[in-house]
């Protein structure tokens, strides 16, 4: 984090943090690659913000080590780590103009007046705040304040930019716009971005990798499609989006994948049954399931009855119940939903083998 203009590579080794008897973070090890866009995702109280604060140097870990470009920075105070940071609510200096806010980190670093003027000017241009230089933060809209916060955090070319739920105060349209802008800034600066959010769609849309937290533990890290399509456990599967879960019996390896019995039908899966054998849970995202009148032999499918539908505009969300009482939700074209409901009796739910994955039975 100490070399300006160069993306940092951060290594967290066995980081733990306790507040009294509360375990906020437990034995966290994570490598953050040079220039990557890593999102820390989890519900509130999951430890993601605590980890960000430890990276920033505002919170001291109870155990573990933190390396930046191979140098141990665990005990280094925040002002010497100088990671760029964007806070929830922006935390701009209310008594300073836009210009002075952005110049602050450069003044602290005793840059020459000419250098400060040039870099602040460039940054203002880059985040689209031209014409607002002399305004106070209170005179700006939420989106503009956000831009000032980003500019202030990036102007001194930190090795890493830490972002704590920066978009939570913005309305939906503006949020999408700011997300796109942040992605652009990431590409332009090449800096390592570590981004905290509890919004799974934001995490999937922005990051090169997502780290999912719950109860102070890091559950899984991987690229968005990997954590979405192949979650390691039930929490990750459910947190990243809607998911259908069906009980599965007699799971065993078969060929390159595995098979099992679901409501007396043989189901095949693309994944290997390495850890889970016997009883397990079959998980399928709603968008991978379709509805048909009949399931061919050898095709994955179970019979179900449609119970309820919600019109969503582009598609209809259909709630179904299987013969043995499992609840399933699918998202299907509107006319398919209408047909399924009007029949009033059984339809077949089918899905491609590689889209179903196995989760251990019970627990997490």
Considering beta carbons, is residue 36 or 165 the nearer one to another protein?
Answer: 165
In order of 4, 57, 95, 238, 260, the CA distances from 81 in angstroms are 11, 7, 25, 36, 53
To another protein, the closest distance from the beta carbon of 128 in angstroms equals 21
Of 18, 26, 87, 346, which one interacts with another protein (CB under 8 A)?
Answer: 87
Q: What pairs with residue 41 in β-bridges? A: 197, 212
**Cβ neighbours of residue 349 under 8 Å, at least 6 residues apart?**
289, 290, 291, 301, 302, 303, 304, 320, 322, 328, 330
To another protein, the closest distance from the beta carbon of 159 in angstroms equals 13
Of 82, 221, 269, 281, which one interacts with another protein (CB under 8 A)?
Answer: 82
* Ranges within 159-178 binding another protein (CB under 8 A): 162
Is 4 one of the binding residues for another protein (CB under 8 A)? no
To another protein, the closest distance from the beta carbon of 220 in angstroms equals 28
Considering beta carbons, is residue 82 or 227 the nearer one to another protein?
Answer: 82
139: which DSSP letter? G
Of 51, 66, 123, 156, which one interacts with another protein (CB under 8 A)?
Answer: 156
Q: Which two tokens stand for residue 246?
A: 């069906």
Considering beta carbons, is residue 82 or 340 the nearer one to another protein?
Answer: 82
Considering beta carbons, is residue 152 or 234 the nearer one to another protein?
Answer: 152
Of 16, 18, 45, 58, which one interacts with another protein (CB under 8 A)?
Answer: 58
Beta strands 327-332 and 316-322 are antiparallel
Residues in the interface with another protein (CB under 8 A) total: 27
Q: How far apart are CA 241 and CA 225, in angstroms?
A: 12
Q: Which two tokens stand for residue 294?
A: 């009949």
Is 5 one of the binding residues for another protein (CB under 8 A)? no
To another protein, the closest distance from the beta carbon of 209 in angstroms equals 23
Is 195 one of the binding residues for another protein (CB under 8 A)? no
Of 60, 75, 109, 134, which one interacts with another protein (CB under 8 A)?
Answer: 109
**Cβ neighbours of residue 122 under 8 Å, at least 6 residues apart?**
none
Contacts 24+ apart (CB under 8 A), 209-212: 209/36, 209/37, 209/38, 209/39, 210/38, 210/39, 210/41, 211/30, 211/38, 211/39, 211/40, 211/41, 211/48, 212/41, 212/42, 212/236, 212/239, 212/240
Largest Cα–Cα separation, the chain = 77
Give the CA-trace dihedral at 341, 344, 345, 347, to 10 degrees.
-10
To another protein, the closest distance from the beta carbon of 89 in angstroms equals 6
To another protein, the closest distance from the beta carbon of 101 in angstroms equals 10
Is 91 one of the binding residues for another protein (CB under 8 A)? yes
To another protein, the closest distance from the beta carbon of 197 in angstroms equals 17
Of 25, 28, 54, 83, which one interacts with another protein (CB under 8 A)?
Answer: 83
To another protein, the closest distance from the beta carbon of 228 in angstroms equals 32
Q: Do residues 32 and 202 make contact, with C-beta atoms less than 8 angstroms apart?
A: no
Considering beta carbons, is residue 30 or 149 the nearer one to another protein?
Answer: 149
- Which residues form the interface with another protein (CB under 8 A)? 56-58, 77-80, 82-85, 87-89, 91-95, 104-105, 108-109, 152-153, 156, 162
């Amino acid at each position: 984090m100490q070399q300006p203009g160069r993306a940092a590579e951060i290594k967290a080794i066995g980081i733990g943090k306790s507040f009294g008897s509360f375990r906020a973070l437990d034995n966290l090890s994570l490598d953050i690659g040079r220039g990557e866009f890593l999102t820390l995702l989890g519900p509130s109280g999951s430890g993601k913000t605590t980890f960000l604060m430890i990276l920033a140097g505002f919170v001291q870990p109870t155990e573990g080590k933190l390396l930046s470009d191979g140098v141990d920075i665990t005990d280094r105070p925040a002002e010497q780590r100088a990671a760029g940071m964007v806070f929830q609510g922006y935390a701009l200096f209310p008594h300073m103009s836009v210009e002075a806010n952005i110049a602050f980190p450069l003044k602290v670093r005793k840059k020459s007046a000419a250098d400060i003027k040039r870099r602040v000017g460039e940054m203002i241009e880059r985040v689209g705040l031209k014409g607002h230089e002399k305004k106070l933060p209170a005179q700006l809209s939420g989106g503009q304040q956000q831009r000032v916060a980003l500019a202030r955090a990036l102007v001194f070319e930190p090795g890493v930019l830490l972002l704590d739920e920066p978009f939570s105060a913005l309305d939906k349209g503006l949020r999408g716009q700011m997300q796109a802008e942040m992605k652009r800034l990431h590409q332009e600066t090449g800096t390592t971005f570590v981004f905290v959010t509890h919004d799974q769609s934001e995490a999937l849309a922005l990051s090169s990798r997502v780290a999912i937290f719950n109860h102070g533990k890091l559950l899984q890290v991987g690229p968005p499609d990997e954590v979405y399509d192949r979650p390691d456990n039930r929490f990750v599967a459910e947190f990243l989006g809607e998911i259908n879960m069906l009980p599965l019996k007699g799971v065993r390896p078969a060929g390159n994948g595995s098979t099992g019995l679901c409501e007396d039908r043989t189901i095949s899966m693309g994944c290997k049954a390495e850890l889970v054998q016997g009883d397990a849970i079959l998980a399928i995202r709603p968008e991978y399931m379709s509805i048909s009148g009949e399931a061919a032999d050898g095709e994955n499918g179970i019979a179900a009855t449609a119970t309820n539908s919600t019109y969503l505009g582009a598609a209809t969300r259909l709630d179904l119940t299987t013969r043995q009482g499992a609840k399933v939700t699918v998202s299907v074209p509107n006319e398919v939903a209408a047909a399924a409901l009007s029949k009033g009796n059984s339809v077949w739910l089918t899905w491609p083998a590689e889209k179903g994955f196995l989760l251990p039975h019970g627990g997490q």
